Amino acid sequence: MAQYTPPLRDMQFVLHEVLNATDTLKAMPAHAEVDADTINAVLEEGGKFASEVLFPLNQSGDREGCTLDKTTHEVKAPTGFREAYAQYVEGGWAALSCDPAYGGQGLPIVVNQCFYEMLNSANQAWTMYPGLSHGAYEALHAHGTDEQKKVYLPKLTSGEWTGTMCLTEPHCGTDLGLLRTKAEPQADGTYRITGQKIFISAGEHDLSDNIVHLVLARLPDAPEGSKGISLFVVPKFIPDASAKPGQRNGAYCAGLEHKMGIHGNATAQIVLDNAVGTLVGQPNKGLAAMFVMMNAARLGVGNQSLGLTEVAYQNAVAYAKDRIQMRALSGPKAPDKPADPIIVHPDVRKMLLTARAYAEGGRALAIYTALQIDQELSSTDEDERKAAADQVALLTPIIKAFITDNAWAATSHCMQVFGGHGYIAEWGMEQYVRDARINMIYEGTNTIQSLDLLGRKVLGDNGAKLKKFGKLVQEFVEEEGTNEAMQEFVNPLADLGDKLTKLTTEIGMKAFQNPDEVGAAAVDYLRVAGHLVFAYFWARMAKVALAKKDSGDPFYTAKLHTARFYFAKLLPETASLIRSARAGLQPLMAMDEALF
């Protein structure tokens, strides 16, 4: 009974009216031929694949889940997943933004970003199979040897093979310096890898001919901690001389996790039993190579939650317009019916608008960041590439943590709109809540993202990256300073910018005395920073909508209403967050452990 319509109009609004993406792209030789019509046509077809092929498999895949044959160690994905993946490969979707040198179509990352949002709305569990492959592709593209690139990149580009990232072990998650998997060098230049990995998304399945595991392990003489980690390619089937799947490797699935959500994706326990692997990058420098994949995954997880927020919102709105319960307190709004549609009730409106504001704000941020990645990768100006890289570094933890936190709230609100019907499986809403919850945990918990933002990305360079984003905010505020119609947006934006600057300085001074002050403030700090970023994009969107409010297009009217809701009802959260952050470490650490 659930439904999904790709939000193409809003994507086009952000791409072409707010960010003028094609102007940015045309300045890069790699994308000089890309125009708005091409982008729109690709996304329209991508939306059809998401809504017509993947979406019908979402609820059935959740109910069926994945099955492991413990005799063969083979995993079967839910019914229809394999066929949908074949259509995905046949349609060339895997190659969308990949390097033409390896069979890719070379389209901008920003197009792939929008396409993947729709895939995630339609079916997050399915989308994780090809999604992880993009990360493996990027890591090998950046750090692989010529031979590794020759063998693996064309297959990952086409989608014939899929990829995974094998990091977590039973005794270590984020603290990868504790990992124990061993890699023994062989006379032929390969390595024999032994160990156990857990929580490996898409770790085993029947969708593709081969699975390319990127595995972190230790060499025999490796130093302790994270400085002694190396990265290896460990394929399920060792490619033969013609780069086809050959001998079965010693990497197999020993079990599947029983999870709260994303049941359609195989979260595997992978045993490495004398498996053959080849080194990626330099010995003991594996984290640098793996961070390419990890950062891509963090952006991808934010995109997963963006997709869930959108689809949950769409379904909640449709239900709220149809479901009749009680009368409005101010009198009947549907006197011809025995009760009013619940969309007339203020708190239902608040829940719906919260989801809408978080979806549309998240979309603007995600598309902007993807465009920055395109500049980082393809600009011919070195300074522009560096500036874009700094923006991406700053915004990555915000995308991962702020958007996923927001999605947890938004999907829960949307389930609440359905009342008791939201709690049962029939309408599909409870699945969105369950699926959304993992996104706050994996690829670095949101607390880790908060520590990364405050400790590394802000205090780590004395606020240089934050100041660059602050300059964008300041320039926009100054541009609109005399525009009376924009004051309701730019005044709170400017005020929050000043408050975040002061908060950053205050926490930094405390951290000189006790580094734990960073940990005490980080989560609150990230939400304040997230709201500053959202407020900036909402103000930019409001500017465009104001200029076109008399066009007769209700799209702009709705955009303005949503912007005003965001500034009136969601942004004020920052006041309590700043107060909490300033309360510091003492209220958290004063109580003796024995009293817990």
Q: What is the CATH number of the domain that holds 38?
A: 1.10.540.10
- What's the number of domains the chain is made of? 3
Check whether residue 129 and residue 171 sit in a common domain: no
Short-list 370, 359, 395, CA closest to 533: 395
Residue 344 lies in a domain: no
For residues 356 and 565, what is the distance between their CA atoms, to the nearest angstrom? 10
pLDDT in tens, 357-384: 999 999 999 999 999 999 999 999 999 9
Check whether residue 136 and residue 173 sit in a common domain: no
Residue 103 lies in a domain: yes
Check whether residue 176 and residue 203 sit in a common domain: yes
Helix, strand, coil shares of the chain, percent, nearest 5, are 65, 15, 25
Question: What secondary structure does DSSP assign to 117-144, as a single string?
Answer: HHHHHHHHHHHHHHHHHHHHHHHHHHH-
Sign of CA dihedral 175, 177, 182, 186: positive
Residue 157 lies in a domain: no
Check whether residue 13 and residue 138 sit in a common domain: yes
In this prediction, residues 415-433 reach a mean pLDDT of: 97
Residue 152 lies in a domain: no
Alpha-carbon Rg for the chain, nearest whole angstrom, is: 24
DSSP 8-class letter at 197: E
Position 289 confidence tier, pLDDT thresholds 50, 70, 90 = confident
Owner of token pair 């580009």: 157
Residue 366 lies in a domain: no
CB atoms within 10 A of CB 274: 11
Check whether residue 73 and residue 34 sit in a common domain: yes
Give the CA count within 13 Å in the CB-facing half-sphere of 207. 33
Q: What percent of the chain is modeled with pLDDT above 90? A: 96
User: Using an 8 Å Cβ cutoff, are 510 and 584 in contact?
Assistant: yes
Residue 176 lies in a domain: yes
For residues 559 and 489, what is the distance between their CA atoms, to the nearest angstrom? 13
Position 288 confidence tier, pLDDT thresholds 50, 70, 90 = confident
Q: Which of 96, 115, 143 is the last residue of a domain?
A: 143
In this prediction, residues 219-247 reach a mean pLDDT of: 95
Residue 210, strand partner residues: 161
Q: What is the CATH number of the domain that holds 276?
A: 2.40.110.20
Check whether residue 136 and residue 170 sit in a common domain: no
- pLDDT over 90 (residue 291): no
In this prediction, residues 260-288 reach a mean pLDDT of: 96
Active site residue 443: yes
For residues 532 and 466, what is the distance between their CA atoms, to the nearest angstrom? 11
User: Using an 8 Å Cβ cutoff, are 351 and 560 in contact?
Assistant: no
- Strand 191-201 and strand 267-280: the pairing is antiparallel
Residue 291 lies in a domain: no
Position 83 confidence tier, pLDDT thresholds 50, 70, 90 = very high
Question: What is the overall mean pLDDT for the chain?
Answer: 97
Check whether residue 126 and residue 200 sit in a common domain: no
Q: Which of 284, 303, 326 is the last residue of a domain?
A: 284
The range of the structural domain enclosing residue 67 comes to 8-143
For residues 272 and 10, what is the distance between their CA atoms, to the nearest angstrom? 45
pLDDT in tens, 164-179: 999 999 998 888 888 9
Owner of token pair 């950053």: 504
Q: Which of 284, 303, 320 is the last residue of a domain?
A: 284
Check whether residue 62 and residue 109 sit in a common domain: yes
Check whether residue 31 and residue 84 sit in a common domain: yes
For residues 436 and 557, what is the distance between their CA atoms, to the nearest angstrom? 30
pTM attached to this predicted model: 0.98
Residue 70 lies in a domain: yes
For residues 203 and 251, what is the distance between their CA atoms, to the nearest angstrom? 10
Which of 117, 376, 430, 443 is catalytic? The answer is 443
Check whether residue 222 and residue 104 sit in a common domain: no
| CA quadruple 346, 350, 352, 357: dihedral, nearest 10 | 140
Check whether residue 14 and residue 55 sit in a common domain: yes
Position 294 confidence tier, pLDDT thresholds 50, 70, 90 = confident
Question: What secondary structure does DSSP assign to 398-448, as a single string?
Answer: HHHHHHHHHHHHHHHHHHHHTTHHHHSGGGSHHHHHHHHHHTTTSSS-HHH
Short-list 452, 401, 406, 577, CA closest to 503: 577
For residues 492 and 504, what is the distance between their CA atoms, to the nearest angstrom? 18
Check whether residue 132 and residue 177 sit in a common domain: no
